[in-house]
Structure 1
Amino acid sequence: MAADKSWKTAFAIYLQPRVVSMVFLGFSAGLPFLLVFSTLSAWLRDEGIERTVIGFFSWVGVIYSIKVFWAPVIDRLPIPLLTRLLGKRRSWMLLAQIGIALGLSGMASLDSHTQLRLCALLAVGVAFCSATQDVVIDAFRIETADARYQGAMAAAYVLGYRIALLMAGAGAFYIAEYSSWNSAYSVMAATMSVGIFTTLTLREPEHRRVESARKVESRLESALGVSGRASFGQRMAAGFTDAVLSPFVEFFSRNGRTGLIILLLVAVYKMSDITMGVMANPFYLDLGFSKKDIAEISKVFGFFMTIAGAALGGALVVRYGVMRPLLLGSVMVVATNLLFAVLALSEPSKLLLAAVISADNLSGGLATSVFIAYLSGLTSTAYTATQYALFSSLMTLPAQFLGGFAGLVVDHYGYYIFFIYASAVGLPAISLVLLLIGRERRAKMLAQRP
């Protein structure tokens, strides 16, 4: 995208209806998340459920990390009648949202002491529908707008998601305090109507046949000897090949060896941010800040600075394209982690804490919206749900694994060395972005040669 676009034009993208709609879809995606995690844990503990049992409930979160396994079904399988009425994406979106609302309503009607097993099953059901909704919304977002809108749509999604987290966190606590946890979950179930109404009013994106993807499927079917589809077994094998294997083969057919560099970047881009985040709250407490200080500074400043960073990232994508903002985001995340190292050596100060948290959330919001725009551009419209689900899983799983060693580093070397380490973890991402920018420029130069 040309860099001569004005900032007014860049930020005006947030007035586009397709961008505004992502606020409501982001809200619908964010609402169930805490309701099967920390809010549910608080409810169970408040009812006197043992901490050991509550810990087992955290395994519900695994569902969000394995959504790539059923994303091919969402890409391929129509829902009887509903798909004909609403289209490929909206039908799955509506089904997932109704499932979330029914699951939350079911949880609201339970006695946590006598029906704990049913509560766990419903929590798993809500998480499954929620992860399914995430897959469909990502696919819908990518297919409904071209690349220059993706950063802004990601920023709008982040805004809606953050508002939903407040609703499902602090909002549910307030309702439970003045009424009951059952009432809180009933209200949350009713609030899912925001997503349902939005889905019903949106326009289904256009689905065009991608000829290059069809050729990949034909070649793969021939190579595996199932192209004839004469028997039931061959038809099943061909369907599995087209839905599950072809998205990965198509990605490498389109990107060649550069595809390996891209996947490596996807795996490491969020490592610095996630690694640091694991130890953030323990660090604040160990510095001597009260829980009230942390809540007021990290939540208030964190919320608004994350939204501001995401909005800026979306505007930068409109103005400069994806790659330069992607590089800026990776550099900013590394730099703000170094600010935490400075904070570790300084006397505790609320002003300094607010400044560091503001910088961290601004950089994190910017990097997130730009990175989502980048990932969106990597997908083929023939396999949007499957490929993006793969990217989003790859984006978090290695980083979460590395984050598990964060406490070990702190215990052995202290917070100062830990934050230096967390910054260093982000250097490979900077190097890979620079490498991809260089390859992109060389490819353009070769294309312009007579």
Structure 2
Amino acid sequence: MSITEQSGSSASLLTPRGQMALYLLLGFAAGLPFYMFSTVLALRLTAHGVGLVLIGFFVWVTLLPTFKFLWAPLLDRFDVPGFGRFWGRRRGWIMLSQLGIFTAMVGLAITASDRSLPVTALFAVLLAFWTTTLEIAADGWRIELAPTQEAQGPVVAANLWGYRSAMVAASSGSLLVADAAGWGPAYLVIAAAAFAPFPILAAMRPDPNHGGGRGVALLTGLFASAVILCAAAVATAAIGWVLLALAARMGVTAKSDATAAVLVICLVPFIIMALALPRIRRARPGDWIRRSAAIGPYVDIFWRFGYGTLPILLFVSLYRMGDVFALALSKPLVKSLGYTLTQIGVADGAIALAASMIGVAAGGWMVTRWPGAWVLAFGAILAAVGNWGFVWLAHQQPSNLILYIATASDQVGNGFAGAVFVVYLSMLVNPRFPGAQYAFLSGFAFLLPRLLAGASGSIEKSIGYDGFFMLSGGLSAAAALLLPIVIPLKPRAEDA
């Protein structure tokens, strides 16, 4: 079988190599946009004189993927009109998402001057939304294809190879283009590259459970997609207007220190979950909270793991903390040290790509051979060392070699930790609800880190870049201390 085989029942017929080829492509499609609404956008805002605190607030755009569980069930229950009829549910959502990614990046190219930050934020949020939607569809399919830890390792590695190579290509390529031609052309180049997988998906064979003509399905899907994209843009603009009005009324400005408020907000999910757990643990199979299509898949996680869910969620929140923090301020730090966009782009190119591939490959290989606790602990330490490398970088004279070493250290650690972490989360999922539960777990894993990263500008003002990266690395390393608690936790047996 090739990657042209379809979702649904036929997807299970893919050979291991076919699965890896498929997820190399899907990882590439999802990875290209990510840096464009995170680190590249932070550099763009820095170039236009936007303050560090306000840039930190823009990090909260990356919070959107943490709430993907809110719309993940829709992707399991509904088809995209036109696309779904011919290509099936999974690919239909992926194709719609790619159209959303393309239009959002074109919007960011048109607004490249950043004269209106709310408009820039609108397109950044839309880009994050459609990137996340693509990932939801792909993740649910992956867990169905590879239900065991041994099968997950190679597929996850291939997916992350595609994802991280695309991230590096987008970051490096966009910065090189931006240095030569400006931010608008940079976003247009990446938008064109992100759209490239669309015709490949459109050329695939039809889903065996669907039919009709390819041309009619494509035209219907494009029309339906235009309607959906416009509706999403209007809804996002309305919600953003309300949130900005509330923030203004509460006195939140570009000079506000949000650290204390964010720390309090971080405690709220754990308090709510602790209060709800007794009711969930007593729930019987026929109770509405377990049967509900909207919340049933998420209730199932708490029902199976009970109070063990709390340390599990604390562990997953800490594990990628360093990666998220580094994403927020690493590029502004490097730029402040005197490096040019071209130097940063080169470091984010071949150096970062090679280092990331090494980390992902090592993680994907070791997770199939080492006990889970040891692999997770090793990944946490590697990620922490990568963060601490930025402290070392800040105290060296600007040099390409020094920049390359710091970049490589960060990417090896993040690649390794990312690979083993995806496998760990996948093994927590109930195969009855693969898409929804993985969306919840992977989303919650980044909720607290991204909340805190949104206050990164305020934190840096208080403790400096050295303190900031020492703190972020320390939090990643601290996750290893929870392993003796979380690894022995096993899910409750299914009831009738």
Q: Same fold (TM over 0.5)?
A: yes
The change in CA–CA distance for 1:348 and 1:415 in structure 2 (over 3 A counts) is same
1:38-49 paired onto structure 2 within 5 Å: none
Aligned to 1:159: 161
**Pair 1:131–1:205, CA change in 2 (3 A):** farther
Gaps of 5+ in 1: 1-13, 207-215, 225-237, 444-450
For 1:330, the equivalent position in structure 2 comes to 380
Which residue of the partner structure matches residue 272 of structure 1? 322
Q: CA deviation at 1:31?
A: 3.1
* Structure-2 change in CA distance of 1:170 and 1:289 (3 Å): closer
Indicate which of 209, 223, 226 corresponds to 2:287.
Answer: 223
Contact kept in structure 1, 2:101 and 2:131, CA below 8 Å: yes
Contact kept? 1:72, 1:386, Cα under 8 Å: yes
Find the aligned partners of 1:119 and 1:246 in 2 and give their Cα distance: 36
Tell me the amino acid that sits aligned with residue 301 of structure 2: F
What is aligned with 1:447? none
In the other structure, the counterpart of 1:30 is 31
Measure the CA separation in 1 of the matches of 2:389 and 2:176: 35
Counterpart code for 2:142? R
Aligned twin of 1:317: 367
Amino acid at match of 2:27: G
Q: Which moved more, 1:30-39 or 1:63-72?
A: 30-39
* Equivalent position amino acid for 2:20 in 1: V
Aligned-pair distance for 1:429? 0.7
- What's 2:292 paired with? 242
Q: For residue 152 of structure 1, report the CA deviation from its aligned partner.
A: 2.9
Range that drifts further, 122-131 or 17-26: 122-131
RMSD after superposition: 4.6
Q: Which residue does 2:191 correspond to in 1? A: 188
The farther-off stretch of 317-326 and 77-86 is 77-86
Structure number with larger C-alpha Rg: 1
Identity, % of aligned positions: 30
Partner Cα separation in structure 2 for residue 372 and residue 275 of structure 1: 19
Q: What code does the residue aligned with 2:74 have?
A: V
Q: 1:197 aligns with which of 197, 200, 213?
A: 200
- Once the two structures are superposed, the pairs formed by residues 409-420 of structure 1 within 5 Å of their partners are 410-420=460-470
Q: Gaps spanning 5+ residues in structure 2: where?
A: 1-14, 210-279, 492-496
- How many residue pairs match? The answer is 400
Equivalent position of 1:140 in the other structure: 141
Name the CA shift for 1:126/1:268 in 2 (closer, same or farther; >3 Å): closer
For residue 28 of structure 1, report the CA deviation from its aligned partner.
1.4
Shift of 1:261: 2.0
TM-score normalised to the size of structure 1? 0.70
Kept after mapping to 1: 8 A contact 2:100/2:130? yes
Partner of 1:19: 20
Trace 1:3-402 onto structure 2 (pairs within 5 A).
16-33=17-34, 63-79=64-80, 82-83=83-84, 85-101=86-102, 127-146=128-147, 147-165=149-167, 168-169=170-171, 171=173, 181=184, 185=188, 188-189=191-192, 192-198=195-201, 201=204, 222-224=286-288, 242-285=292-335, 287=337, 289=339, 291-320=341-370, 322-343=372-393, 350-402=400-452
2:66/2:440 contact within 8 Å kept? no
- Indicate the SS of the match to 1:243: coil
Quote the Cα distance in structure 1 between the aligned partners of 2:351 and 2:186: 30
| 1:202–1:397 distance in 2 versus 1, CA, 3 Å | farther
Aligned equivalents of 1:148, 1:415: Cα separation in 2: 40
Mark the CA change 1:343 to 1:252 in structure 2 (over 3 Å): closer, same or farther: same
SS at match of 2:65: helix
Task: Look up the equivalent residue of 1:161 and give its one-letter code.
Answer: Y
Instruction: Give yes or no for the alignment of 1:436 onto 2:436.
Output: no
Q: Distance in 1 between matches of 2:22 and 2:78?
A: 25
TM-score, length basis structure 2: 0.65
Secondary structure of 1:319's counterpart equals: coil
Query: Tell me, what secondary structure is at the counterpart of 2:430?
Result: coil
Give a deviation string over 1:205-263, Cα, whole Å, max 9, x none: 99xxxxxxxxx9xx668434xxxxxxxxxxxxx9x952222112211233233222211
Q: 2:414 corresponds to which letter in structure 1? A: G
